[in-house]
Copies of this chain bind each other. A is one copy, B any other.
Amino acid sequence: MTTIQDIADKLGISKGTVSKALNNAPDISETLQKQVLETAVELGYTKLRRYKKSAKKLCVIVQKDNIQYEKPHHFAYDIVMGFRQMAEPAGYEVEAVPIDVSTQRKISYDIFMLQNDYAGSFLLGLSLGEPWMKDFRTSRTPAVLYDNHIIGNPTTAYVGIDNDEGMDLAVGHLKKLGHQKIGYLSSALGSYIMQVRHKAFFQAMHNHGLKTDPSYAGCSYYLSECMEKHLPRFLDMGLTAIICCQDTFASAAITQCQQMGVQVPRDISIIGFDDIPMSPYTSPPLTTVRQDRIEIGKSGYYALSSLLNGVSIGTVLLHADLKVRESTRAVTEK
């Protein structure tokens, strides 16, 4: 196991200086501190600290520009709560930490974790292009990513719902109601999960023997473009149902339809994804693929504790669950 002495030897400095750098002492230059931290990570010093009592600290890191968690109506609130429900009785202290892209640019993931004394993290809301996503290919501090999948690093794991199953349930539900022509409305494919759901839509259509081609999907970075361009196009194509990549899109689609004089579900059925807190209260209440956020939080802790114990779990997927409400109904003969 790596000791402070090893780091000192490698850098040719004293143990005291290393210790100061690791503990953020004010009389150490920023450059030297950076060197010490990088060397500590390189030598695997994190591994030692995990077993120290002071290191029994975990964090839930939230990309604050993509996801909210502070209040009960925020999507990630229950995820953080589920994580705490498991981690705290097991003796861990849990901190929820908001980060953004500029933090990621300034400091690598491993060094961030070492500097803050976190033994491992559960990360929510990172998009594919963000700096730490590259770090995770080779990082050494256990990281569980919600809705992101890193290939080939045994210290990372992916936790989420089974989107293939969710899409299969959504398409199957619509098919049972007589729908044949089903569209998919999505935000841009800049996140892992948007790519997975997009692919899952076409796979589910195929599995249920329904005709589809690329024109049945509409993806735009801007919600407004989805509503103004793809939604009218879908209606012109004679689609009778639309599955949306997430509930916020489905809710906007309901509103947009109403403004165009198209009634949901009489004229078109709409299904969302996620079951966010507002979804039972849209008008009509939204049929959606539910993610049980408490269970996601619990599974996040389970995956992290497995990694901390050297059991290299890579993926934990929860069963998807279709919440049937009032935004879908049997197709009407015209």
Taking beta carbons and an 8 Å cutoff, which residues of A are in contact with B?
Answer: 151-152, 154, 161-162, 164-165, 168-169, 172, 292, 295, 298-299, 302, 306, 311-321
Using Cβ atoms and an 8 Å threshold, which residues of chain B touch A168?
151-152
Closest to A310 in B: B295
Task: From known contacts A152-B165, A164-B151, infer whether A299 and B319 are also in contact, taking CB-CB under 8 Å.
Answer: no
Using Cβ atoms and an 8 Å threshold, which residues of chain B touch A314?
161-162, 165, 317-320
Q: How often does this chain occur in the complex, in copies?
A: 2
Measured between C-beta atoms, what is the minimum distance from A27 to chain B in Å?
A: 42
Are B295 and A162 within 8 A (Cβ)? Answer: no
Are B316 and A315 within 8 A (Cβ)? Answer: yes
Measured between C-beta atoms, what is the minimum distance from A144 to chain B in Å?
A: 13
Q: Cα distance A165–B315 when bound, in Å?
A: 11
Using Cβ atoms and an 8 Å threshold, which residues of chain B touch A165?
151-152, 314
Are A299 and B317 within 8 A (Cβ)? Answer: no
Nearest 4 pairs of A and B residues by beta carbon: A315-B317, A314-B319, A312-B319, A154-B319
Measured between C-beta atoms, what is the minimum distance from A45 to chain B in Å?
A: 23
Using Cβ atoms and an 8 Å threshold, which residues of chain B touch A302?
302, 306
Q: Cα distance A296–B298 when bound, in Å?
A: 20
Q: Cα distance A320–B150 when bound, in Å?
A: 12
Using Cβ atoms and an 8 Å threshold, which residues of chain B touch A316?
313, 315-317
Q: Cα distance A311–B296 when bound, in Å?
A: 10
Q: What would 13 A/B residue contacts be, using CB atoms closer than 8 Å?
A: A151-B164, A151-B168, A152-B172, A154-B319, A165-B314, A299-B313, A302-B306, A312-B318, A312-B321, A315-B316, A315-B317, A316-B316, A316-B317
Q: Cα distance A302–B319 when bound, in Å?
A: 15
Q: Cα distance A311–B162 when bound, in Å?
A: 14
Beyond the given A295-B311, A299-B313, could you list 10 further A-B residue pairs with CB under 8 A, ordered by the A residue number? A151-B165, A151-B168, A154-B321, A162-B314, A162-B315, A165-B314, A298-B311, A299-B311, A312-B319, A315-B317
